[in-house]
Amino acid sequence: MTRPRLRGLRRVRRVLKGIPENMRVQLVSVLNNGGRALQSAMRARAPSKTGAVRSGISYRVLPKTLRLRVGLLGTKRGRADLFYGRIQDLGRKEQVVTVQRRRRVQASVGDGEIRGLLLTRGGRKRAEDIVTTYQMRVKAMPPKRFITGSYPVLRSAISNALKGIWGRALKSIAGGSDE
């Protein structure tokens, strides 16, 4: 998914590059505090059957661009382990899916360990290994919105904390301050 281009984005980036280092440190510290608060609020709202989704919620502050990211972050592999958190957050519509049960073959994977594996041909599952095919109804799940939900109190607290620092930073860039 591509992001829409914003007019004046180059100017904003140029202004961000001109922020004095001490102001940047203050902005990053406020974003860190806000990130911790948002992370704990999301963890409190998150469903906890095993606790994996709650422990997967993290935050990251990007100091160069002064952005705060909170949610199911991490590497692609790490997010793949928590794919169900996205389904719980955004919900699921009712649908009928086709399920194929496949034959597994007992194979040695090393160290004397034997597992049931699916045979593949060039990375693709073999059609002759299909044992049964059936339709399964998947029930709808309403969205829980523990990540994508709005946190107006926390967002306004972060915004208010940033306003004073941001005003001083812009004045210092423009040369209207003693800092």
- DSSP at 128: G
Compute the distance between CA of residue 5 and CA of residue 9 in angstroms, rounded to an integer: 8
pLDDT > 90? residue 96? yes
Beta strands in the chain (DSSP E): 57-62, 67-72, 95-102, 105-110, 113-117, 120-121, 124-125, 130-138
Other CB atoms within a 10 A radius of the CB of residue 68 amount to 16
pLDDT > 60? residue 78? yes
- Clarify whether residues 72 and 158 are in a common domain: yes
Domain count, the chain: 2
Q: In terms of residue numbers, what domain contains 121? A: 95-138
User: Taking Cα atoms as reference points, which of 67, 65, 47, 68 lies closest to residue 56?
Assistant: 47
- Clarify whether residues 41 and 56 are in a common domain: yes
- Clarify whether residues 105 and 127 are in a common domain: yes
Among 59-68, 128-137, 143-152, 158-167, the minimum mean pLDDT is found in 158-167
Q: Are 46 and 57 in contact (CB under 8 A)?
A: yes
Flag whether the pTM goes above 0.75. Answer: no
User: Taking Cα atoms as reference points, which of 96, 95, 74, 94 lies closest to residue 83?
Assistant: 74
Average pLDDT (68-85) is: 87
